[in-house]
Structure 1
Amino acid sequence: MGIATTERHGTGRLKGLLAPLGVAAGAGAVFAFVGAVDPNEPGHYPTCPFLWLTGLYCPGCGTLRTIHALAHLDPVAALGLNPLAVAMIPLLLFWWGRWVVSAWKGRPRRTTLAHPAWLWAFLGVVMVYWVVRNLPFGAFLAP
């Protein structure tokens, strides 16, 4: 009886890890593809629709080139293209790690990533970043 319970528990852990490992595999595939297919060369990726329509940079402008720079181990170039995207990587890894640990321990998934105040603060940072990178004194934030 003890062996069956252990085997069932081990299988449950592995099943719980499928989703976070699938996300990691998908992110790794995107990272590898963008690292291999240079977004600096025209014709490989579509233009940002917001940039195309308005001539202004959105918070995500430069992220493909940032990923490409990181894939080629050039963090200085990555920071110059989209510092917000680079700053988000440790946070995303932290949340993904929490997900893996809770899945491994068999804990139920939480429906919230963080306290709503932190999410509103993050939204505020993104909005300020979006505006400032399009102003003359914030040109250093433009890709």
Structure 2
Amino acid sequence: MIWSLLSSAVPDVSGLAPGEPLPVCPKTPNCVCSEDGTPEARRVEPLPVHGDPAAAWGVLKAVIREDLGGKLRSDTGTVLHAVVRTLVLRFPDDLLARRDDEGGVIHLRSASRVGRSDLGTNRRRVDKLRTAYLKRLGASDE
């Protein structure tokens, strides 16, 4: 009973239409997102895409697997879902990405499935992802 109160459902992005934003973060403070309308306290910047969007998407997937230790659960080519586990207690967190070719960015959403607060874990994860992504692209965050 208490476990169900502290856990969130796995996000379903299988039916997300091209250009449709990622799911809104829950009201709990354990989610960050780059989509418009995200409250400032939980907003992160999307990843810039320099050059070929498909190549940037490939770099993103490599960073998720190799730098974050994430497991890709689904990838449509424009939307992906990966599960990344926390370091100490190995809780599963959901990392979503949406390729926005018109905007020249990749939107991100990282959210905990368990608990109310994440103590900044999702923001640090996105920061680590951004740093590794930009390093692999040889680009800056401008």
Smaller-chain TM-score bracket: under 0.3
Which protein is richer in helix relative to its size?
1
TM-score (norm: length of structure 1):
0.26
TM-score (norm 2): 0.26
As a proportion of its length, which structure holds more strand?
2
Larger Rg: 1
